[in-house]
Amino acid sequence: MSAPLARGATRFAPTPTGRLHVGNARTALLSWLWGRSLGLRNVLRVEDLDPAAIPAGCLEGQYADLAWLGLVWDEGPREGGPFGPYRQSARGDRYDAALAALDALGLLYPCYCSRREVAQATRAPHASDEGPVYPGTCRPTLGAVLGDLSAVPTRAGRPAALRLDVARALAYLGWSSVVFDDRVAGPQAFDVVETMGDFVVRRSDGVAAYQTACAWDDAEMACTHVLRGDDLLASAARQALLLALWGGPRPVYAHVGLVVTPSGERLAKRDNAVTIEVDRLAGRPPHALLARLAATCGLPASHDLDTLAAALTVGPALAQPAVWG
């Protein structure tokens, strides 16, 4: 993969399965301000790998929420741009090429295990953020190139998912772990073999896995700075591994603390009380919400985006969860 010649970018990459809540808005705001403060492009990428799971009008609602906050995008599904399409559902051919590149290295294998079988075969206590660590049931002893990935055979009627042979991938790179410096979370070292195992890069329905699509798009869209919730910190290790295998550039990562309720629970999109839409549809100006969000980021309680961008420091202080209640 050759790095596209472009000014760098930050991106906000929502999955439009529900309305934006204040946690999403805080991440969108921080990412946007970071881009603005560094003179980068602000990209909106829609992560709709499962178009059937997207409720009608959801993307439009998210766009309206973001616009209400004053967040306008240099590139995105509506705005267009040189690295489109900006909806993952329209980028399948690119992910096929990305997967073929991994296969050419002999690093992929078909896996026929159901979730249940993986859970049963996993020796406790290993569990990752993506569920139980895969015990390697379908992993071949020798790596092999599968060839035509559109023709991976089924087994007993079951379609195959494709997994990355993580130990082989590390050996190929000459790495013993995945190491990176996170602007907010600090230095990271992930023993991906032990703590994550061979993760799925293409799902059994033939669609690219989130890790594949996200990492590929970050590189192809020249997203040099990735700011998102710290629930995705371990994903960054998988994505950094994939990017290294593709020879693509690794973004600067910044994983910020999530917004939580006073009792410490994560916000959910279905929780109407904290959606942006409630304020927007009530006809309220965004000022109060922006100032309140800014205050949770250690910024002046201003609703002026340029003032906020000028005051922003993306650093360890943003690792703390932001209590909203």
Q: How far apart are CA 187 and CA 281, in angstroms?
A: 42
Minimum CB separation of residue 31 from ligand GLU in Å reads 8
Query: Is 198 in contact with 136 (CB distance < 8 Å)?
Result: yes
How far apart are the C-alpha atoms of 194 and 35, rounded to whole Å? Answer: 35
In the complex with ligand GLU, which residue's Cβ is closer, 14 or 257? 14
Q: Does 13 bind ligand GLU (CB under 6 A)?
A: yes
Instruction: Express the helix, strand and coil content of the chain in percent, nearest 5 each.
Output: 40, 20, 40
Nearer residue to ligand GLU within complex by CB, 111 or 223: 223
Rounded Cα–Cα distance for residues 286 and 69 (Å):
6
d(C-alpha 241, C-alpha 247), whole Å: 10
Are 209 and 199 contacting, i.e. CB atoms less than 8 angstroms apart? Answer: yes
Is residue 50 a contact point for ligand GLU (CB under 6 A)?
Answer: no
**Residue closer to ligand GLU, measured from CB, 197 or 251:** 251
Nearest to 89 by CA among 49, 59, 53, 32: 49
Q: List the x/- string, 195-224, binding to ligand GLU by CB under 6 A.
A: -------------------x----------
* 47 touches ligand GLU by CB under 6 A: yes
Q: Of 142-171, which residues contact ligand GLU (CB under 6 A)?
A: none
Residue of 152, 184, 232, 305 that binds ligand GLU (CB under 6 A): 232
Sheet holding 223-229, edge to edge: 41-44, 9-12, 223-229, 252-256, 178-182, 186-190
Question: Among residues 33, 107, 40, which one has the least CA distance to residue 71?
Answer: 33
Q: Between 163 and 228, name the residue whose CB sits nearer to ligand GLU.
A: 228
Applying the rule CB under 6 A, the residues between 94 and 123 that interact with ligand GLU are none
Residue 228 binds ligand GLU, judged by CB under 6 A: yes
CB 20 to ligand GLU: min, Å: 10
Q: Does 14 bind ligand GLU (CB under 6 A)?
A: yes
Minimum Å gap between C-beta 161 and ligand GLU is: 20
**Chain contacts with ligand GLU (rule: CB under 6 A):** 13-15, 47, 214, 228, 232
